[in-house]
A = this chain, B = another copy of it.
Amino acid sequence: MIDWIDNYNARDWQTTTEGELRYALIGLGWWTADVAIPAIESSENGTTTVLVSSSVEKAERLAADHDIEHGISYDEFHNGVASDAYDAIYIGTPNAYHLDYAETAAKFGKAVLTEKPMEATVDRAERMVEVCEDADVPLMVAYRMQTDPAVRRARELIQEGFLGKPMSVYGNNSQPLLEMIPDPDQWRLNPDLSGYGTSVMDLGIYSINTTRFLLRREPVAVFSRMESRHEAFADVPDEQAASILRFENGIQMVSTSSQHAQQDTQLKLTGTEGQIELRPAFHGKCTLYLSRGDVSVRVAHDTFDSEQEMREEFDYFADRVLTDSAIYPDGRHGLQDMRIIAAIHEAAESGETANLE
Cβ-defined partner of A258 (8 Å) among B223, B256, B268, B270: B270
- Chain B nearest CB from A220 CB (Å) reads 12
Distance, CA A119 to CA B250, complexed state (A): 29
Cβ-defined partner of A353 (8 Å) among B264, B274, B351: B351
Given known contacts A225-B223, A244-B225, A271 and B262 CB-to-CB distance under 8 angstroms: yes
- Chain B nearest CB from A272 CB (Å) reads 6
For A272, the chain B residues whose CB sits under 8 A away are: 176, 260-262
Contact residues, A250-277 vs B (CB, 8 A): 250, 252, 254, 256, 258, 260-262, 264, 268, 270-275
A291 at the interface (CB under 8 A from B): yes
Q: When each residue 337-357 of chain A gets 1 if its CB lies under 8 Å from chain B and 0 otherwise, what string results?
A: 000000000000001110000
A240 at the interface (CB under 8 A from B): yes
The reply to whether A227 and B244 form a contact with Cβ atoms under 8 Å apart is no
- Chain B nearest CB from A152 CB (Å) reads 22
For A273, the chain B residues whose CB sits under 8 A away are: 262
The reply to whether B275 and A262 form a contact with Cβ atoms under 8 Å apart is yes
The reply to whether A168 and B262 form a contact with Cβ atoms under 8 Å apart is no
The reply to whether B275 and A270 form a contact with Cβ atoms under 8 Å apart is no
For A97, the chain B residues whose CB sits under 8 A away are: none
- Chain B nearest CB from A171 CB (Å) reads 10
The reply to whether A167 and B240 form a contact with Cβ atoms under 8 Å apart is yes
A144 at the interface (CB under 8 A from B): no
A242 at the interface (CB under 8 A from B): yes
Could you give 10 example pairs across A and B, Cβ below 8 Å? A164-B262, A167-B261, A168-B242, A170-B170, A223-B244, A225-B246, A242-B252, A260-B272, A261-B270, A264-B270
Residues on A lying within 8 angstroms of B by beta carbon are 163-164, 167-168, 170, 172, 174, 176, 223, 225, 227, 229, 240-242, 244, 246, 250, 252, 254, 256, 258, 260-262, 264, 268, 270-275, 291-293, 351-353
Further 11 A-B residue pairs, CB within 8 A, beyond A242-B254, A264-B268:
A168-B174, A168-B256, A168-B261, A170-B254, A170-B256, A223-B244, A225-B252, A227-B252, A254-B254, A262-B271, A264-B275
